[in-house]
Amino acid sequence: MTNYDVIFFEIAIICYILGCFTVLIPRAKQLFAHYFAQVMSILGSAIILFIAGRYLLVGETALTKVVLVGNYTLAIDAWSAVFLCITGIAGVITSIFAMDYALGYMGKRLRELSGLWNLFLLAMILVLVARGAFSFLLSWEVMAIVSFLLVNHESEKKDTWLAAYQYLVMTHIGTAAIMIAFFIVGSGSTGLSFGALNMSVLPEFARNTAFIAAFLGFALKAGLVPLHVWLPNAHPAAPSHVSALMSGVMLKIAVYGFGRFIFGFLGPIEFWWGAVVLIIGLLSAFLGALYAQMEKDMKRLLAYSSVENMGIIFSALGVGMLMLTTSYKEYAVLGFTAALVHSFNHSIMKSLMFMVAGAVSHAVEDKNIEKMGGLGKLMPWTAVCALLGSVALAALPLTNGFVGEWLTLQSFVFLAMADAGTGLRLLAAFAFIMMGMTSALALGCFVRLLGIVFLGRARTRRAESAHEVSKGMIIGMAIPAFLILLAGLVADPLVGIAQHVVETSIPVRSVISAESFLLWGQSGGLLKYEPFILFFVAVILAIFSWLVIYRGAILTRRDVTWNCGTVPTLRQQYSGTGFSKPVRRAFDFLLKPRREVVYLQKEHKYFGRSMVFTLTIPDRFTEKLYIPLQHHLVKTASFLRRIQAGSVRIYIGYVMVAMVLVLIWGAL
């Protein structure tokens, strides 16, 4: 009876594999290959979503310890089921979108794009169901390489392959760190399966080192500051539906892996681990939001916004870890639940926004928001979806984006209340300041994005003649837009499921006296927020105001804006750069923008000369950390090259010297 789970899981995997093999279809039938591959990925993702959802809602699955090949076992538990759900939902909606969107790549390796798309989804799912260090790392590596190939799809462009190779190098540093973490944990256990790793016993120093390695590796994949530099480069380089999947799902896989380590492998959690995760998370949230508001490239902006949201997720994880070290262990559930809920919600809204970015840049053929404007009238459906996505990312109440941030704030409150001493209280106050700035900056960032792209007047010819995208793309965007509202209104059961998952995942070492408490419910819950009732009131008010304000003789005369006697020109319209000026000025000391004014004509010193003003805001971490680091690396390497003379005799000499040294060392 329950063996259906295994059968369907295998069908899903076969779907993906069939999708991969569409690359073999001859080029003349690339359109068929593309559609077939996308249908396969929709089918596969839907099955995965069904299996994972069934496990979360009904609570039963036969997918425990299935041997796929040889030593490769896979299984689902509660923690991976949530992330499988995320992958399934995002997989379905982005594949629907990709059906029409990827047609833009017709003749430009379309079959490879669609085939790798399936492999990418498959790799992420295999990471989530892997039950051993080896299978985890293998799938992780496949995921990294396939995503590199997808980012590098338009490899003719220099920016693209630069970004792709940067991503390749960075992600391998991360993989190396995760490997080290697995090896350290594995050295204290009887085997490399997850069950054995959960039981590993390690000395203090080894555990701390393993934590640092694991956090480094997963923070790099999640794009936390200062390891985020690949993210804002890779996203604009990749095709939009790939960015949607990378930002929506792949970053969450890092949360999954990190969860495995802190819930099981690393043993009891140290105080400073939690503090480090919390502080890095908060800094990422703040800096991500700040850079997002400065950005002109729509997809870079969204990438920085992902840095912000991953920061929020990790800060919630950090609070959970900190609470586990205090005497109020049971409230750790709140922090972990917040992280899980926000992961789920963010995957929906960020996939949506990347799809919107794809639709808009498809219509305008440019990613620079300063060249758009007034698209709301030309692309109304895209605009409505973008509005919903932005409202959710700005964390306004009644949307799903609010729920995660609200739970995170509540976890900070419990952190402040947890201890009578001022240490944690000051940490919580710091968290409040950072979250406050983050949410205000994120709100400003998305107001700016919507306002510049969809409202006002078109800034270029291209934007004037934009057209609404095809129906398939609109459907792909409309589903997550609807889910944003739905998950915002029925947040209560979703949070309940997340809480249950967290409660079954944490006590691997029974740190918590498994006493469940009602986090949030209609009555007697710990927290209070009833979106459905607020929505009901909002609907009443909307009907009332429609009858009273809008239906009557409200309108109106259409007339040009009074502009002191002149007709307002296009150039008087506010630009995105101008809009973020006050914030840029306030944070000048962090951003260090570079301003350059070039005067083109010099006949008159003060009158009638034209000038060019350029403003660049370089990523400070690239400038101050990575470029010097790279510089030193190259310098050291070229220094070491001196001993590589290329002559065989010298190498034999090295071998002899080494032998002698070893012999001496052995004799001592």
Partner 1 sequence: MNAIFSYDFLFSFIQMILLVVFAPLFSGITKKTKALLQNRTGADITQDYYDLYKWWGKRTVVTPHTGPIFLLAPFMYLLSTMLAAFLLPNMLTNLTFGDIFVFVSLLAIGRFFMALSSFDAATAFGGMGGSREIYVSTFVEPVMLLALLSAILKNDTTAVSGMIFNSGAQQINVAGILACVGFFILLLAENGRIPVDNPDTHLELTMIHECMLLEYSGRLLAVIHLASMVKGLLFMTLFSMVFLPLSLPLVVKIILTAVSIAVMETLNNKMRLFKVRAYLLATGGLLLLAIVAQ
Contacts with partner 1 in 67-106 (CB under 8 A)?
none
Contact 115, 23 (CB under 8 A): yes
Helix axes 30-57, 110-129, angle to 10 degrees: 20
Work out whether the CA dihedral 640, 646, 652, 653 comes out positive or negative. Answer: negative
- Residue 542 contacts partner 1 per CB under 8 A: yes
Among positions 204, 559, 596, 603, the unique one binding partner 1 when judged by CB under 8 A: 559
DSSP bridge partners of 611: 599
Q: Hey, how many other C-beta atoms are within 10 angstroms of the C-beta on 102? A: 25
Among positions 585, 631, 632, 635, the unique one binding partner 1 when judged by CB under 8 A: 585
- Residue 545 contacts partner 1 per CB under 8 A: yes
Cα dist. 598→452, 534, 577, 585, 602 in Å?
A: 26, 54, 18, 21, 11
Query: Residues 327 to 386: which contact partner 1 by CB under 8 A?
Result: 373-374, 376-377
Among positions 35, 165, 579, 626, the unique one binding partner 1 when judged by CB under 8 A: 579
Q: Name the minimum Å distance from CB 387 to partner 1.
A: 8
Q: Name the minimum Å distance from CB 495 to partner 1.
A: 14
Q: Name the minimum Å distance from CB 298 to partner 1.
A: 16
Among positions 158, 461, 467, 528, the unique one binding partner 1 when judged by CB under 8 A: 528
Work out whether the CA dihedral 114, 88, 81, 243 comes out positive or negative. Answer: positive
Query: Residues 151 to 210: which contact partner 1 by CB under 8 A?
Result: none
Q: Name the minimum Å distance from CB 167 to partner 1.
A: 31
- Residue 319 contacts partner 1 per CB under 8 A: no
Give the x-and-dash track for 397-416 against partner 1 (CB under 8 A). x----x---x--xx--x--x
- Residue 437 contacts partner 1 per CB under 8 A: yes
- Residue 465 contacts partner 1 per CB under 8 A: no
Tokens of 78: 């509660």
DSSP bridge partners of 193: 132
Whole-number Å distance between alpha carbons of 473 and 450: 19
- Residue 582 contacts partner 1 per CB under 8 A: yes
Compare residues 94 and 305 and give the one whose CB is closer to partner 1: 305
- The dihedral region occupied by 486, where left means phi > 0, alpha psi between -120 and 50, and beta the remainder, is alpha
Q: Name the minimum Å distance from CB 407 to partner 1.
A: 10
Query: What residue has token string 């270029």?
Result: 460
Whole-number Å distance between alpha carbons of 381 and 164: 32
- Residue 541 contacts partner 1 per CB under 8 A: yes
Among positions 1, 28, 69, 560, the unique one binding partner 1 when judged by CB under 8 A: 560
Compare residues 385 and 435 and give the one whose CB is closer to partner 1: 435
- Residue 278 contacts partner 1 per CB under 8 A: no
- Residue 281 contacts partner 1 per CB under 8 A: no
Compare residues 8 and 535 and give the one whose CB is closer to partner 1: 535
- Residue 557 contacts partner 1 per CB under 8 A: yes
Q: In one letter, which amino acid is 182?
A: F
Work out whether the CA dihedral 500, 503, 505, 508 comes out positive or negative. Answer: negative
**Alpha carbon 352 to its chain's center:** 12
Determine the interface stretch with partner 1 among 12-20, 331-339, 528-536, 634-642 (rule: CB under 8 A).
528-536
Q: Which ranges constitute the DSSP H helices of 152-250?
A: 158-187, 194-198, 204-222, 231-237, 240-245
Q: Cis before residue 226, ω within 30 degrees of 0?
A: yes
DSSP, collapsed to helix, strand or coil, labels residue 599 as: strand
Contact 318, 215 (CB under 8 A): no
Whole-number Å distance between alpha carbons of 363 and 378: 10
For partner 1, how many residues bind (rule: CB under 8 A)?
80
Compare residues 470 and 573 and give the one whose CB is closer to partner 1: 573
- Residue 554 contacts partner 1 per CB under 8 A: yes
- Residue 434 contacts partner 1 per CB under 8 A: yes
Compare residues 27 and 457 and give the one whose CB is closer to partner 1: 457
Whole-number Å distance between alpha carbons of 519 and 485: 22
Whole-number Å distance between alpha carbons of 3 and 573: 63
- Residue 435 contacts partner 1 per CB under 8 A: yes
Which stretches of 19-104 are assigned E, i.e. beta strand?
66-69, 72-74
DSSP, collapsed to helix, strand or coil, labels residue 68 as: strand
Determine the interface stretch with partner 1 among 67-75, 101-109, 473-481, 524-532 (rule: CB under 8 A).
524-532
Among positions 522, 630, 636, 644, the unique one binding partner 1 when judged by CB under 8 A: 522
Q: Are strands 611-616 and 72-74 parallel, antiparallel or unpaired?
A: unpaired
Helix axes 251-260, 110-129, angle to 10 degrees: 20
DSSP bridge partners of 612: 598
Q: Name the minimum Å distance from CB 102 to partner 1.
A: 30
- Residue 563 contacts partner 1 per CB under 8 A: yes
Compare residues 205 and 562 and give the one whose CB is closer to partner 1: 562
- Residue 2 contacts partner 1 per CB under 8 A: no
Query: What residue has token string 């690393």?
Result: 266
Among positions 7, 514, 538, 656, the unique one binding partner 1 when judged by CB under 8 A: 538
Compare residues 8 and 432 and give the one whose CB is closer to partner 1: 432
Query: What residue has token string 């009907």?
Result: 543
Among positions 59, 104, 493, 568, the unique one binding partner 1 when judged by CB under 8 A: 568
Among positions 426, 633, 655, 656, the unique one binding partner 1 when judged by CB under 8 A: 426
Compare residues 50 and 579 and give the one whose CB is closer to partner 1: 579
Compare residues 69 and 553 and give the one whose CB is closer to partner 1: 553
Q: Name the minimum Å distance from CB 426 to partner 1.
A: 7
**Alpha carbon 29 to its chain's center:** 35
- Residue 396 contacts partner 1 per CB under 8 A: yes
- Residue 466 contacts partner 1 per CB under 8 A: no
Contact 413, 335 (CB under 8 A): no
- Residue 618 contacts partner 1 per CB under 8 A: no
Q: Cis before residue 337, ω within 30 degrees of 0?
A: no
Q: Name the minimum Å distance from CB 589 to partner 1.
A: 11
Q: Name the minimum Å distance from CB 41 to partner 1.
A: 35
